[in-house]
Amino acid sequence: MIALFAAGAGRALEAGFDGVEIHGAHGYLIDQFINLKWNQRTDDWGGEKRCRFAAAVTRAVLAECGAGRTLLRFSPGWSTPGSGWQQPAETLPLLLDTLWDAGLRILHASHGEYDQPNLPAELLPAELRPASGLLPLHQATRALWKGQLVGVGSLTPARAEAALALGEVDATAFARALLANPDFVSRVRGGHELRVYRPDYLTKLV
């Protein structure tokens, strides 16, 4: 499986893509290894080594594409529906340290709502913890990650601009807005109103 990830990344570059994103989120295979709810292995791929598979895939893809063309997407609170990470306060630092040691330098922190608090505040030093006891994913990741960070989650263009200006993230991503607006870039540049996303737009992709 690790070799297949690398081969797919290599073919993407051959096809003309500028880079690749490793999908380590939303209940797919890499996320299943990270999430203790699903990964109950007792060998070298489980327990305290549950992030090893993500690191092995990352190293293989980096060998194909290079650090400047590779990022990884992860989603602690928006994994398989109803099944966010167990022990997120322990798992997030473990994953980020493991990926950094593997050579990754660009990370995509994915949550359905960018500003929604969903991770325990204990991830931050005591003096920086909010009274609510929870942090948005981008804030928790920024505090722990030394590389570049991409944020996503129902962002509006205005909120995305603010996130960049405040240094919360280094880049922003849009998904549902693009499904609703295939001409998203030209609409934003022209100051035109965006169509509101509807779930039935997904059926048009099949």
Residues taking part in catalysis: 28
Q: Which residues pair with 28 in a beta bridge?
A: none
Instruction: Kindly give, in sequence order, each residue whose CB lies less than 8 Å from that of residue 27, ignoring residues fewer than 6 positions away.
Output: 79, 80, 81, 83
Spatial separation of the C-alpha atoms in residues 117 and 109, rounded to whole Å: 13
Matching residue, tokens 């297949």: 4
* DSSP secondary structure letter of residue 80: B
The SS3 call for residue 205 is: helix
CB of 54 closer than 8 Å to CB of 72: yes
